[in-house]
Structure 1
């Protein structure tokens, strides 16, 4: 998976990669020239004492060093740009994939894990690319070039390389194999830390209301300690690697000097040649050591790449059809034809054999006990997930055959949990229609019974809204969410328990405004309160995913025992009559 990601997302940046290789090659060639030049100075200076020659050769060495420095800087620059570009493309691909997910896929991965994969996991792969461009490209060049130059200097000592390099690779390989499970566990535990933080920040009011600060602190401490323990295990292995590499390098240096000294004594080799061989051996082992540093990063990056690949390879369960049809002309007629739905892995269906029709310009209410499938039912209309049996049609066309953008353009959905984005009142309302004028916004606010409190704000439409709408009350947040849907002016409105946060007076005023100003729009209202649904043209009563009643308020009082029980639990007998 790591290789696939690198090939896929580095392909557009091949000019940068080519530039990195060219400058790293130039840097390596310059590095390989220095030991030979230094050996020439030593041998020339010892044998002849030609100071001019030493100055000339030293000047060449200085020039070569400057070239090496410039090439290294340029290579690092292009390598950094390469890594940043890949990180940008990878995050963009993850974001677009996650946005296309249905509720099913989001629930499968979990929001904390998706956040970790788009931040920490991408960062690990990005760091690997950056280090590869600046280190891994030059390491093989130095190692291969060093071997060639060392053999040219003294083939008699080449056997030392044959011993040192395999020993070094074996040690590194054994350590890396043990590091992979630790890094796999580390990423999972980072997911857990993100989950705990997200829950505590989102539910801070609940935590304080139940005085659970100490318990939540302990829960976070446990999650954080788990990450620390895993990181320590990986760190201990990492710390073991570098002393092992240095041990091999130092033993190799001693061996070169020991065996080389006999050759110098027997006039088999010059002192400068011996030191050049030693320098080349160090360059070879240094290249191997740089590669080992990469090997430390590769296991964790590979784990992160697999996690990223899981997201990219997961196809959304709700996809656009291969040959989408245009939305048919109509006014928002909705049909449920023997609809059933089962969540993945569930033993029982959530909805069973639902068949009914919502006529254009009418209000259909859905009521039932908690867990009866009301939210799932309206989610099928908007294709938040697809039916497992039957069909949902809008104006005679199966929603699975419609282009999702066309479908969603015709629907104004107010979810059960109102969510506002960081910005202003106006920016949140214009999510419904980016071209809406201020007059359109005020009209929607008036219909949603929100104009009074927005006008009372010092900035009016430009009043700031915090992320999630946490700086306004629950009722205000709900009314702004309703106004956002009204700005869109769709053919079909879906209110998923959107009136529960409103008081009875505001609820009644809002429903009257909708009936008066939106008589042609089709409205589907999910509610818990009988007072919210009793004026609907049609009421659907759900019980454990089955439709146990359908009709008006008066008809259901006579025909549906479940509905009567709901009414009697909420209204006095006089009101029910």
Structure 2
């Protein structure tokens, strides 16, 4: 886990090395200074030798300046390495997510991925910054101060050798108890982010149903749960400092008592006692820093486990060996296709799907809610892979194509029309980043979007809010259709993508498709019969299976489901609602 995450350090390895190097210089100087101060007391003051005091004093000032410079440089390199590491780690997680299939993404909630990219990375950044300094400083300070103390007076310094193992056991027990609680905390952070995301993205619905108070209560409940978990963990972790300080203060008392006795008996000097007390404080500081590092590691360990889950997830949709680099045409064949979201042949969402669509045909798909219409078309560009059977495009299995080539040849306008922050033109160029203004305008005219875009104050340079919320549902759908057309695809899939436009505009879009892109295979999922009445053939799905395929005229004569839908809409059902 740690090795995988540390790969993100990359170009910041130098800074990660220099930080502990300068920390080492700083520690060595800090440990030597109390020893030299003992010389001033025992050799300078005791003998009233001002020349010796001045000489050692100047050396101490130089050492203090060098220690300060080393500390500043160590802090600078530690900050640079930790911030750079976090930047790379965040980028690596995001790049990994971009390789995920829909099935991979389904394994993680959106809020969970956001927490990993933000809170978890920040926790690791803070721990890493402390690590590159403290993991060197604390052990060195502890060892050097202990060695110097033993060198001054072995018997008195043995007190430290008794206390340090005791404190190590206490710290281990604290980690053992606190880590599981922090794991729960970050799981609840995912849930809290989910509540915030849902509320902010659905704020219009919240306000229209006057649900502000209920949403506040929901948020407060989640926030209180996190507070209680953190409080529970902190109650355990907070024992660090009191235990350490009690132990060290006890040690100082014993050192002072024993040292005073030895000074009276002239087996220890006053300077040596002062140095031992200083070393006791240095050991105290190193142990306090150790305890803080342990707390950060407890938190960061949980974050590392969560991030490793993402980094170690292998995309289940990858290119095979020698993938095909060109899609010849828009012919589509489904042969004995079955699909399960949980990859279980006994739990199929689609089963026994067989049909063939000739290149350039227009095919409508209808069926009730939850019958598998969207799932079926998502198998074509390999957003999901089939569980059973084969999907072929231009006579070749979709798994044999290069994923980028395949998806560039299939343009999908999904049920949820997603637009991104930026101008309308920037959103349209997702379909073709090199599209000219003339190509953009032509695509928008086909999608019946040009006129309403030009009626906006800034036309194609109109800035969209997040999600395109400053456009109506029908306007967003038309922009998304235009964006798909700019890909110049072999296959165009509209997944209920004209549900928010009026019937006249819908008819105009279909007319433009017939006249302007006759060679593109068009698959239209619709609830309105009117939207697919001029299709070459219509596929009717029911409970994940095809119950009928035929032209509108044939189905009108032979299929009861089609007849019922047609008659209900003609009488003012769904047809009039649109």
Q: TM (normalized to structure 2)?
A: 0.96
Residue correspondence of structure 1 range 118-129 to structure 2 within 5 A: 118-129=117-128
Structure 1 residue 127: Cα displacement: 0.7
Residue number in structure 1 paired with 2:141: 142
Structure 1 residue 313: Cα displacement: 0.9
Residue number in structure 1 paired with 2:115: 116
Structure 1 residue 209: Cα displacement: 2.3
Structure 1 residue 136: Cα displacement: 2.0
**4+ runs deviating over 6 angstroms:** none
Residue number in structure 2 paired with 1:95: 94
Residue correspondence of structure 1 range 169-184 to structure 2 within 5 A: 169-184=168-183
1:255–1:322: structure 2 CA closer, same or farther, 3 Å change rule? farther
**Residue pair 1:366, 1:526 contacting (<8 A) in 2 also:** yes
Question: Take 1:456 and 1:229, find their aligned partners in 2: how far apart are those partners?
Answer: 54
Residue correspondence of structure 1 range 60-459 to structure 2 within 5 A: 60-328=59-327, 330-344=328-342, 348-459=347-458
Residue correspondence of structure 1 range 36-55 to structure 2 within 5 A: 36-55=35-54
Per-residue CA deviations over 1:266-285 (Å, capped at 9, x if unaligned) read 11011101111222232223
Residue number in structure 1 paired with 2:541: 542
**Residue pair 1:362, 1:537 contacting (<8 A) in 2 also:** yes
Question: Take 1:192 and 1:282, find their aligned partners in 2: how far apart are those partners?
Answer: 44
Structure 1 residue 489: Cα displacement: 1.2
Residue number in structure 2 paired with 1:561: 560
Question: Take 2:338 and 2:562, find their aligned partners in 1: how far apart are those partners?
Answer: 22
Residue number in structure 2 paired with 1:28: 27
Question: Take 1:170 and 1:58, find their aligned partners in 2: how far apart are those partners?
Answer: 41
Q: How many residues are matched?
A: 572
Structure 1 residue 235: Cα displacement: 2.2
Question: Take 2:534 and 2:5, find their aligned partners in 1: how far apart are those partners?
Answer: 60
**Residue pair 1:340, 1:354 contacting (<8 A) in 2 also:** yes
Question: Take 1:73 and 1:294, find their aligned partners in 2: how far apart are those partners?
Answer: 20
Structure 1 residue 159: Cα displacement: 1.4
Per-residue CA deviations over 1:203-260 (Å, capped at 9, x if unaligned) read 2222222222221111111111111111111222232221221111111111110111
**Residue pair 1:549, 1:559 contacting (<8 A) in 2 also:** no
**Residue pair 2:37, 2:275 contacting (<8 A) in 1 also:** yes
Question: Take 1:11 and 1:526, find their aligned partners in 2: how far apart are those partners?
Answer: 47
Secondary structure of the equivalent of 1:566? helix
Secondary structure of the equivalent of 1:413? strand
Structure 1 residue 425: Cα displacement: 0.9
1:462 correspondence with 2:461 = yes
- The 10-residue stretch of structure 1 (547-556 or 310-319) with the greater mean CA deviation from structure 2: 310-319
Residue number in structure 2 paired with 1:520: 519
**Residue pair 2:5, 2:89 contacting (<8 A) in 1 also:** no
**Residue pair 1:5, 1:305 contacting (<8 A) in 2 also:** no
Question: Take 2:408 and 2:155, find their aligned partners in 1: how far apart are those partners?
Answer: 79
Secondary structure of the equivalent of 1:137? helix
**Residue pair 2:338, 2:388 contacting (<8 A) in 1 also:** yes
Structure 1 residue 6: Cα displacement: 5.0
Secondary structure of the equivalent of 1:229? helix
Structure 2: gaps (5+ residues):
none
Question: Take 2:508 and 2:247, find their aligned partners in 1: how far apart are those partners?
Answer: 82
Structure 1 residue 37: Cα displacement: 0.9
Secondary structure of the equivalent of 2:218? helix
Residue number in structure 2 paired with 1:482: 481
**Residue pair 1:445, 1:451 contacting (<8 A) in 2 also:** yes
Per-residue CA deviations over 1:106-163 (Å, capped at 9, x if unaligned) read 1211100011011111111111100111222211111111121111111121210111
Structure 1 residue 572: Cα displacement: 3.9
Residue number in structure 2 paired with 1:492: 491
Question: Take 2:321 and 2:90, find their aligned partners in 1: how far apart are those partners?
Answer: 26
Structure 1: gaps (5+ residues):
none
Q: TM (normalized to structure 1)?
A: 0.97
Structure 1 residue 300: Cα displacement: 0.9
Per-residue CA deviations over 1:36-90 (Å, capped at 9, x if unaligned) read 1110111123420112221221111111011001000101111111111211111
Secondary structure of the equivalent of 2:238? helix
Question: Take 1:345 and 1:390, find their aligned partners in 2: how far apart are those partners?
Answer: 13
Question: Take 1:8 and 1:485, find their aligned partners in 2: how far apart are those partners?
Answer: 37
Structure 1 residue 12: Cα displacement: 4.6
Secondary structure of the equivalent of 1:49? coil
Question: Take 2:367 and 2:503, find their aligned partners in 1: how far apart are those partners?
Answer: 19
**Residue pair 2:22, 2:73 contacting (<8 A) in 1 also:** yes
- The 10-residue stretch of structure 1 (209-218 or 185-194) with the greater mean CA deviation from structure 2: 209-218
**Residue pair 2:338, 2:351 contacting (<8 A) in 1 also:** yes
Secondary structure of the equivalent of 1:317? coil
Question: Take 1:404 and 1:508, find their aligned partners in 2: how far apart are those partners?
Answer: 33
**Residue pair 2:245, 2:284 contacting (<8 A) in 1 also:** no
Question: Take 2:4 and 2:39, find their aligned partners in 1: how far apart are those partners?
Answer: 47
Question: Take 1:33 and 1:471, find their aligned partners in 2: how far apart are those partners?
Answer: 67
Question: Take 2:211 and 2:245, find their aligned partners in 1: how far apart are those partners?
Answer: 51
